[in-house]
A and B are shown apart, each in its own frame.
Chain A
Amino acid sequence: MRRTAITAAVAALALTTGCGAADMTKQASPFANARGAKTVTLSVQSWVGAQADAAVAQYILEHKLGYRVDTVQVDEVPAWDALSQGRVDALLEDWGHPEQEERYVRRKGTVVSGGGLGVTGHIGWFVPTYLAKRHPDVTDWRNLDKYAPLFRTAESGGKGQLMDGSPSYVTNDKALVKNLGLDYQVVFAGSEAAQITQIKRFAKEKKPFLTYWYAPQWLFEKVPMTEVRLPPHKEGCDADPDKVACGYPHTPLKKYLNADFAKSGGAAAAFLKKFRWTTEDQNEVSLMIAEQKLSPAEAAKKWVDSHPSVWKKWLS
């Protein structure tokens, strides 16, 4: 027993002091760079739009620039952390995280901006268009209380149900319901997959529903939805999370790169910085992935084959 203990202690000592400092900012995936190929690691967020960005970037990196690409699915906030540590090289669709920008871009300098994605994001409350046609005035928040009984479910406890999605999303809905004095209960679907499944269920039976949703999103093509007007957004009106009483802003989506990768990433980094497309382009790919059930790679190939003028600019 004693010898084992000594061996262990020596080993631990060697591990902790003998081999010098380990750099926590250079932590590549063990699966990267296998078989001598250069690997770029992209982070993918759980919504399909982000999958579309990553799929097209991956296709071009692999087929036009000769890289191997690893994708890792992580939520946005952990993705920032991963960027900073070099576990992933790029985050292609960020919906605005001022706290993380401050910490990693400005203070630590381990992450750099990769420019805009070209797509503008917007969060809001939506009802299905078939309902908005039946009751045109449902699209103003002031009339929502009148329709609360319509949106009642087993989960909403006698009030109307406002369905929220994944815990990773930016939302002020609980505060909004309270501060606007609405007779609604926020029910968290808990994941985007669950939320989409539920929305499709409702739509199939033409049932009324009110949901937190965001654009650009492929689901609009399948289930047309109309936005409910909330009190207009003004700069800073959502500064205090408890007192929010206004709608959501329009956010130009941005890309972020690991600082080392941006500097020494060669053709891959240059390409990712230039990568910029439109909402329509993104939706086209998203729809192929989510509705036609093409694999992201197949969807990306289809898009790349039919839009050479768009992506050729990214490589010049």
Chain B
Amino acid sequence: MATLSLPSARTKTPRLLRNRAAAKLLLLALLTAVLLPVLNRWGNGTWPHALTVSLDKPLASASDWVIDNRDSHPLFLYFFGHLSNAVVIAVRAVYLTLLTAGWAGVTVFGALLAWRLAGLRLAAGTALAFLACGALGMWVPTMQTLALMVVAVLASVAVGALLGLAAGLSDRLDRALRPVLDTMQVLPAFAYLLPVVLVFGIGVPAAVLATVVYAAPPMARLTALGLRGADPEVLEAVESLGATRRQRLLTARLPLARQELLLGLNQTIMMALSMAVIAAVIGAGGLGDRVYQALASVDVGAALAAGIPLVLLAIVLDRLTSAAGDGTARPRAGGRPRLIAWALTLAGTVAAALAARLLGATEWPAGRTLDIAGPVNRAVDWMTDHLYSGVPVVGGTADWAGHFTTWVLDPVRAGLQGMPWWSVLLVVAALAWPIGTWRTALTAVLAMAATGVLGVWEPSLDTLSQVLAAVAVTLVLGLATGIAAARSARVDRALRPVLDVFQTMPQFVYLIPVVALFGVGRAPAVAAAVVYALPAVVRITAQGLRQVDEAALESARSLGATGRQQLWQVQLPLARRALLLAVNQGVVLVLAVVIIGGLVGGGALGYDVAFGLAQGDLATGLVAGAAIVCLGLMLDRVTQPARHRAGKGA
């Protein structure tokens, strides 16, 4: 969403790298040759049964214990119960405030706030966005989601900032926290919905807590980054003035980190919003619930009507926070006028709310809604009717899906599942070691092995084959689009809103169109993943190419390089780090929607997690979720050089 900051290209010489990589691979081959007889003892096929640990029994009894003791055990009565009540009270307070303000009050407040932070254009946009939510007949659900978001974002920011503060001030804590944050990032949200629901039951508290787990890491990372990045000279100057540790923190380090903190806020809001729909699965209500309910009657139009307010909220909040972060906001005067401006904002809101109340119009007028469901459904029907099959020459989408399944997905899966288990681990090591350290490689191998130990080796490889296929498709499309966007400002402008919508549209909305186009199976699962992961890859690629040193390009041009030569020989190699990050983000995002794939016939781990959630089966759901986490860790290590790891989406 927000601007990306990419580390500059590495200066290590490629040849040295290659030699070292060759040495590592040689060592690995040697090691295997020695170990081969031992490994062979365990069999040459799938993961050996002797090396698995079944968690079914302990997990099932843990789940029973929680359910049986939830109403009586002190842990729940005195801790989780209060936590849950606090969340309910907070969300309720915000919700009632929003309702009291009415649509007029909320719209005016939003517009005034946007005006203060980012100028008139965004103010008009914000007002329009709120009015659109009302016009779509979604005012009350929008307010429910907003209330949930306000509380969840505040909690995430508090948690994230505390963690970030700790990591930013202490090296030891930073090292200890990093793997935790890494794991939180690759953890698919569905996987931990289950334990959260078990403890808190379905509903708002569980949703808020799950959102905090999901949305806090970027805040923590960026806070730490900001604190560490503070200019040492400024710090030294402050120190020489005799400031204490705390004074230094409050007067120098935190203000200097303002930009990172606001970017963290921005990322946290975006991630919290993307969680809003997933939280609907556990009964959080609001817009997500409307999207989810619309699915039950296979009504894309109604799902879209609830999805659009989410997209609008996301775009408005994104622009607001990034405007505050860039400092593109209007120049700030001294303290007093600022206070007056805030007072005016508040007064305007109260005036609007009172006016609406006097006119008896706090609720959105019943007749004033726009019905988009009908036309949208007709459009979707028309599209699928004409594209599904029998299109001359190119064939219909169903044929493509069939071919993709038979020619790409099946061979990849068969290949992975046909390999001896230890050779899969070997390949992982061979990929991870040359680009990272032995630690990276070890983490990757252990993560992959963990799926076997958990007893889900086969489904994990099935999921892996889908992820690889989806990432490949995403990269081909994403790099091509990203290159186009980097080379033409017009393409870039045209793409921006499309990417915004793709990135913020709840994944549930495209579940049905994807099935209608590609049929039930793994192909629509891949399609859904591609739609979700594409925007990030396009953005990172375009940004990376644009940031390529202008001088290098200029000198290439002066040597008479054609456009194509500039691209292949200058821009792409120099943007190597950005491209690697694009690959990494592609992988992480594709994994994040593996569950959605499970909902359209992708099977494997995604289906198991959904099954666990639907049937309250902790053993199946949690093990599958853990396996997805392991796959995520493994793929993350294999695709990302050891140093510099940026926050998710950041």
Contact = CB atoms under 8 A, between A and B. Distances in A.
Interface string B221-248: 0000000000000000000000001100
Contact of B296 (A17, A46, A88): A46
B320 interface: no
B503 interface: no
A205 B389 contact: yes
A29 B285 contact: yes
Nearest to A191: B599
Contacts of B157: none
B521 A30 contact: no
A70 interface: yes
B512 A193 contact: yes
Contacts of B78: 16-17, 21-22
Interface in B58-73: 67-68, 70-71
A190 to B, nearest CB: 4
A75 interface: yes
Interface string B134-168: 00000000001001000000000000000000000
B471 interface: no
A239 interface: no
Interface string B199-230: 00111110000000000000000000000000
A22 B85 contact: yes
B213 to A, nearest CB: 19
B267 to A, nearest CB: 25
A120 interface: no
B292 interface: yes
Interface residues of A, number: 68
Interface centre among A21, A25, A72, A289 (most CB of B within 10 A): A72
A263 interface: no
A198 B295 CA distance: 14
A258 interface: no
A78 B521 contact: no
Interface centre among B70, B81, B280 (most CB of A within 10 A): B81
A188 B285 contact: no
Contacts of A35: 99
Interface in A66-96: 70-75, 77-79, 81-82, 85, 87-88
Interface residues of B, number: 86
Interface stretch (B89-97, B173-181, B529-537): B89-97
Contacts of A28: 88
Interface string A89-117: 00000000000000100001010000000
B297 A48 contact: yes
Contacts of B293: 44, 51, 71, 73
A167 B601 CA distance: 11
A201 B296 contact: no
A29 B144 CA distance: 11
B289 A73 contact: yes
Contacts of A270: none
A195 interface: yes
A184 B405 CA distance: 18
Interface centre among B82, B280, B512 (most CB of A within 10 A): B82
B282 interface: yes
A189 B89 CA distance: 39
Contacts of A187: 520-521, 601, 603
A81 B87 CA distance: 19
Interface of A: 1, 15-17, 19, 21-25, 27-31, 34-35, 43-44, 46-48, 51, 70-75, 77-79, 81-82, 85, 87-88, 103, 108, 110, 153-155, 157, 163, 166-168, 187-198, 200-201, 204-205, 289-290, 293, 295
24 contacts: A21-B74, A24-B71, A27-B201, A30-B92, A34-B96, A43-B283, A46-B295, A46-B296, A71-B293, A79-B202, A85-B70, A153-B519, A154-B401, A154-B523, A155-B521, A188-B607, A191-B295, A191-B511, A192-B296, A194-B511, A290-B297, A293-B297, A293-B299, A293-B373
3 closest A-B pairs by beta carbon, nearest first, are A22-B81, A168-B614, A167-B611
Given A78-B616, A87-B283, 9 more contacts: A1-B245, A23-B77, A24-B80, A73-B296, A74-B283, A155-B405, A190-B602, A191-B600, A197-B512
